[in-house]
């Protein structure tokens, strides 16, 4: 819905393309699945597909129906189902629409084989559990799975795994070691790396990499900013001041009165709240930009509004532009910084963008 309420999300397809190219520079010898699950991390799946249609080596999603929709929209690249199939019906769609599916357990393998023999070449990613303990075959269950798969004609197999701590202290070596032990003698394809591993561990690049968050211009690391990594923000959440309050020292702001002015202050009220997807847990002090200047939020985030300190931005009056995160006319605020302040990660901020926020797409 077009509304005159000033909140907007703006999506920059050129930044998405730029970030994809950053990935390709890091993993020059690998192909890259553009991970566009969760509505392209809240950016809009079709916008992401439009931006990357010419260059993405493939697209990775979750739902089979979505894979079918992408095919019907003319996407000709490989399409990967990251959690694999959920039914034998899915297995038939995978065959019919030429989707690449993960198979991560023997029950899923049953579903896949129950759809009957393969009439055409089919790609399957066999997922190995190397320590994340979410999905995947173990060293005990893998041999039988591979034996059953190899009995099929027309099947091309790739081995994949997922890193639990590529962005953390423990790193990837321990999982890579298990992967190598489980795949000893393997000559087929290999697909391992998420965003963090792509940037930090070239030894994980293999044949295909799986970038997600970096495509959207946020950092997978706590200690390095997206700008440090050469990434550009894709989503900007912006709004405007719809109220200004002059406070005396000792007055409080918002629900629960969690912020108290320690001096006379000017407070700007922004048309953005948790029902727009702004994190309610963002405390006083969370960065925000008003009229080209960085400042901080004050008080509790409410459903439709939040407050910020504009004491030192005297020109900021009603209608002054505000950047909640991203790079807007009101200034730049990395989503990672907002996320950190709110005790979460940019992934969650992006995915939580509410449907009620109108979205505009910049020209490519």
Ligand X SMILES: *Cc1c(COP(=O)(O)O)cnc(C)c1O
* Options 64, 183, 194, 204; binder of ligand X; rule CB under 6 A: 194
Q: CB of 62: closest distance to ligand X in angstroms? A: 8
Q: Which of 2, 41, 125, 255 is catalytic?
A: 255
Q: Which of 37, 127, 274, 347 is catalytic?
A: 37
**Rounded Cα distance, 364 and 355, in Å:** 23
Decide if residue 161 touches ligand X (CB under 6 A): no
Using the minimum distance from each CB to ligand X, give the nearer residue, 178 or 296.
178
Using the minimum distance from each CB to ligand X, give the nearer residue, 213 or 357.
213
Exposure letters 163-188 (e unless 16+ CB within 10 A, then b) = bbebbeeebbeebbebbeebbeeeee
What single string gives the DSSP state of each residue in 68-118?
HHHHHTT--S-EEETT--SSHHHHHHHHHHT-EEEE-SHHHHHHHHHT---
**Rounded Cα distance, 208 and 32, in Å:** 5
Q: 278 an active-site residue?
A: no
Decide if residue 129 touches ligand X (CB under 6 A): no
* Options 159, 172, 213, 253; binder of ligand X; rule CB under 6 A: 213
Q: Which residue of this chain has its Cβ atom nearest to ligand X in the complex?
A: 212
How would you classify the pairing of strands 259-260 and 293-298? unpaired
Q: CB of 60: closest distance to ligand X in angstroms? A: 7
Tokens 């200004």 sit on residue: 244
**Residues contacting ligand X: total by CB under 6 A:** 11
Decide if residue 231 touches ligand X (CB under 6 A): no
Decide if residue 270 touches ligand X (CB under 6 A): no
Strand partners, 322: 239, 290
User: Quick count: other Cβ atoms within 10 Å of Cβ 111?
Assistant: 19
Decide if residue 209 touches ligand X (CB under 6 A): no
Decide if residue 220 touches ligand X (CB under 6 A): yes
Q: Which of these ranges, 45-53, 200-208, 211-219, 300-308, lies near ligand X under the rule CB under 6 A? A: 211-219
CA atoms within 13 A on the CB side of 152: 23
Decide if residue 212 touches ligand X (CB under 6 A): yes
Q: Which of these ranges, 207-215, 267-275, 276-284, 332-340, lies near ligand X under the rule CB under 6 A? A: 207-215
Q: CB of 66: closest distance to ligand X in angstroms? A: 14
Q: How buried is 64 (Cβ within 10 angstroms: 0-12 exposed, 13-18 middle, 19+ buried)?
A: buried
SS3 297: strand
CA atoms within 13 A on the CB side of 342: 29
Decide if residue 210 touches ligand X (CB under 6 A): yes
Helix (H) or strand (E) holding 8: strand 8-11
User: By rule CB under 6 A, what string of x and - marks binding of each residue 82-121 to ligand X?
Assistant: x---------------------------------------
**Rounded Cα distance, 238 and 89, in Å:** 43
**Rounded Cα distance, 122 and 270, in Å:** 52
Using the minimum distance from each CB to ligand X, give the nearer residue, 41 or 112.
41
**Rounded Cα distance, 192 and 198, in Å:** 9
Decide if residue 195 touches ligand X (CB under 6 A): yes
Q: 37 an active-site residue?
A: yes
Decide if residue 35 touches ligand X (CB under 6 A): yes
Using the minimum distance from each CB to ligand X, give the nearer residue, 123 or 304.
123
Using the minimum distance from each CB to ligand X, give the nearer residue, 234 or 320.
234
Question: 215 near 229, Cβ under 8 Å?
Answer: no
Decide if residue 217 touches ligand X (CB under 6 A): no
Could you list the active site residues? 37, 255
Which residues in this chain contact ligand X in the complex, by CB under 6 A?
35, 37, 82, 162, 194-195, 210-213, 220
């Amino acid at each position: 819905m077009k509304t005159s309420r000033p909140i907007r999300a703006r999506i920059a397809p050129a930044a998405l393309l730029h970030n994809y190219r950053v990935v390709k520079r890091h993993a020059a010898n690998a192909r890259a699945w553009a991970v566009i699950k969760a509505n392209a991390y809240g950016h809009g799946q079709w916008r992401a597909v439009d931006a990357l249609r010419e260059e993405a080596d493939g697209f990775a999603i979750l739902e089979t129906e979505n894979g079918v929709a992408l095919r019907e929209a003319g996407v000709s690249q490989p399409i990967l189902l990251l959690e694999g199939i959920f039914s034998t019906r899915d297995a038939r769609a995978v065959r019919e629409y030429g989707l690449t599916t993960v198979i991560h357990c023997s029950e899923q393998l049953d579903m896949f084989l129950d759809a009957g023999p393969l009439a055409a070449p089919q790609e399957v990613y066999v997922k190995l559990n190397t320590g994340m303990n979410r999905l995947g075959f173990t060293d005990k269950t893998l041999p039988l799975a591979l034996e059953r798969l190899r009995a099929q004609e027309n099947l091309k197999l790739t081995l994949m795994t997922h890193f639990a701590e590529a962005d953390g202290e423990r790193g990837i070596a321990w999982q890579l070691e298990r992967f190598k032990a489980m795949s000893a003698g393997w000559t087929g394809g290999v697909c391992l790396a998420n965003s963090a591993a792509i940037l930090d561990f070239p030894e994980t690049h293999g044949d295909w990499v799986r970038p997600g968050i970096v495509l959207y211009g946020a950092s997978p690391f706590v200690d390095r900013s997206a700008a440090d990594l050469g990434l550009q923000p894709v989503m900007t959440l912006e709004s405007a001041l719809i109220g200004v309050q002059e406070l005396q020292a000792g007055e409080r702001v918002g629900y629960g009165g969690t912020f108290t002015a320690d001096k006379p202050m000017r407070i700007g009220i922004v048309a953005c709240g948790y029902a727009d997807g702004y994190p309610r847990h963002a405390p006083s002090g969370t960065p925000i930009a008003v009229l080209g200047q960085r400042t901080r939020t004050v008080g509790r985030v409410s459903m439709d509004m939040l407050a910020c300190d504009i004491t030192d931005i005297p020109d900021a009056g009603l209608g002054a532009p505000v950047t909640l995160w991203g790079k807007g006319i009101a200034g730049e605020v990395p989503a990672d910084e907002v996320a950190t302040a709110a005790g979460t990660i940019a992934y969650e901020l992006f995915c939580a963008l509410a449907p009620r926020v109108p979205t505009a797409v910049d020209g490519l």
